[in-house]
Amino acid sequence: MATRHEPRQFQDSDMIDEANNSITVAPHYMTLAACLKPLIREIEQVFINKIPPSGNPWVDFQEASDMFGSAMESLSATIAALNGLNEIVFAATNPSDESVRQTVARVKYPLDNVLNAFRTFWGRPFPVGLEQGQYLASAIMERPLRQLLQVLEQVVMSIDDPAGAVARYGTASFDLEVVFQAEEEAQRFEEWCQNIKQNTDNKPKGGGFGLVALLASFLLGRWTDHHDK
């Protein structure tokens, strides 16, 4: 799934004093960067504060699946909201600071839902003996979040420090392409489930595999539904 626009490069109207080899970015871009920085910190904090799962394990596969599905739906909404940055911030002529703030707020709301769902899904462990599945399933959500983080970081650096962006990314232009690229993570989770099923020595007592098999089918189904939209 992708939301793609042509790379946004700083145009002549975005720069002044070219004779002195300096760039001054239009004010609404500075507002955009200021509004995106809190979002970057929110995503970073999820990873910084990521501690091993604890507390009551997942015993209701429907509940776990619903939480995963909620995260995927909110992630899709977050990416869709990025269209507003192109339509308002990029396409409009000198948009007001308030319109920029409102546009970013429309990204923040679904993003907060993604992060909350990720915290909840990750925070509760899988049943004993199936701990590896916790990491593999969570990675399906984590990779798109890290991709989104990288996109936002590049946008902010391109605005705040064009020279630094060139040094780091090879360009001071940027786009808003965010692609779900968690097929490898989904494949690893599916393979792990199959290995558990085939290796009787790894089957936990108490029918735990029955839970994870159902959970796996729901999670992978949810992933496929949202990835193919």
Provide the pLDDT for residue 110.
94
The DSSP symbol for 129 reads: T
Provide the pLDDT for residue 203.
52
Phi then psi dihedrals of residue 3, to 5 deg: -115, 110
* pTM for this prediction: 0.79
How far apart are the C-alpha atoms of 2 and 79, rounded to whole Å?
8
How far apart are the C-alpha atoms of 224 and 57, rounded to whole Å?
25
Provide the pLDDT for residue 206.
47
Q: How far apart are the first and last CA of the chain?
A: 7
The H-assigned helical ranges of 94-207 are 97-123, 131-160, 162-169, 183-198
Provide the pLDDT for residue 94.
79
Per domain, the residue ranges of the chain are 2-49+66-227
How far apart are the C-alpha atoms of 203 and 177, rounded to whole Å?
42
Q: Which residues of 112-151 are buried (b: 16+ CB within 10 A; e: fewer)?
A: ebbbebbeebbebbbbebbeebbbbbbbbbbbbbebbbeb
Provide the pLDDT for residue 178.
67
Judge contact between 208 and 41, C-beta under 8 A.
Answer: no
How far apart are the C-alpha atoms of 161 and 18, rounded to whole Å?
16
Q: How many CB atoms lie within 10 A of CB 203?
A: 16
| Digitized pLDDT (tens) for each residue of the chain, 229 residues in all | 443 444 444 443 444 344 445 566 778 889 999 999 999 999 999 999 988 888 888 877 678 778 888 888 888 888 888 877 777 777 667 788 898 899 899 999 999 999 999 998 899 888 777 788 888 888 988 988 998 999 899 999 988 888 888 889 888 777 766 666 778 888 888 788 777 767 644 555 444 555 555 555 556 555 555 555 5
Could you tell me how many residues make up the chain? 229
The torsion of the CA quartet 55, 56, 61, 62, rounded to 10 degrees, works out to: -100
